[in-house]
Amino acid sequence: INLTKGFLWEGHALASCLSLTFMLLLHILDVCMSESHHAECPESCFCSESVDSGLMVRCRDMNLIAVPHGLPNNTRHLYLDNNLLFTIPSDSFIGLPLLFRLDLSHNRLVHLEPGAFRGQADSLSSLDLSFNLLETLDPEAFGDLRAQTNLSHNPWLCDCRLQLAMPQLLLDPSSLAEVVCNTSEPEELGAQGMPFILVATDLDFCAALRRTTDFAMLITMFGWFTMVISYLVYYVRHNQEDAIRHLEYLKSLPNRQDRSGESLTRSTWL
- What pLDDT score was predicted for residue 31? 41
pLDDT value, residue 83: 97
Confidence (pLDDT) at 270: 41
According to DSSP, the β-strands at 54-58 and 46-50 are antiparallel
For residue 121, pLDDT over 50 is answered with yes
Q: In this predicted model, which residue has the larger pLDDT, 231 or 87?
A: 87
Residue 9 pLDDT > 90: no
Per CATH, the homologous superfamily of domain 46-204 is Ribonuclease Inhibitor (3.80.10.10)
- pLDDT of 223 > 50? The answer is no
137 against 220, higher pLDDT: 137
Q: What is the pTM of this model?
A: 0.64
204 pLDDT band (50/70/90 cuts)? Answer: confident
Query: Whole-number mean pLDDT of the chain?
Result: 77
**pLDDT at site 239:** 63
- pLDDT of 133 strictly over 90: yes
Residue 177 phi/psi, 5° resolution? Answer: -70, -20
Q: Which amino acid is at 58?
A: R
DSSP letters for the chain:
-HHHHHHHHHHHHHHHHHHHHHHHHHHHHHHHHHHHHHHTS-TT-EEEEETTTEEEEE-TTS--SSPPSS--TTEEEEE--SS---EE-TTTTTT-TT--EEE--SS---EE-TTTTTT-TTT--EEE--SS------HHHHTT---EEE--SS-EEESHHHHHHGGGSEE-GGGGGG-BEEEESSGGG--TTSBHHHHHHH--TTHHHHHHHHHHHHHHHHHHHHHHHHHHHHHHHHTHHHHHHHHHHHHHHHHHHHHHHHHHHHHHH-
Amino acid at 62: M
pLDDT at residue 34, as a whole number: 45
Among the ranges given (101-115, 138-152, 181-195, 244-258), the one the predictor scored with the smallest mean pLDDT: 244-258
List pLDDT tens digits, range 12-45: 555 555 565 556 555 444 544 444 444 488 888 9
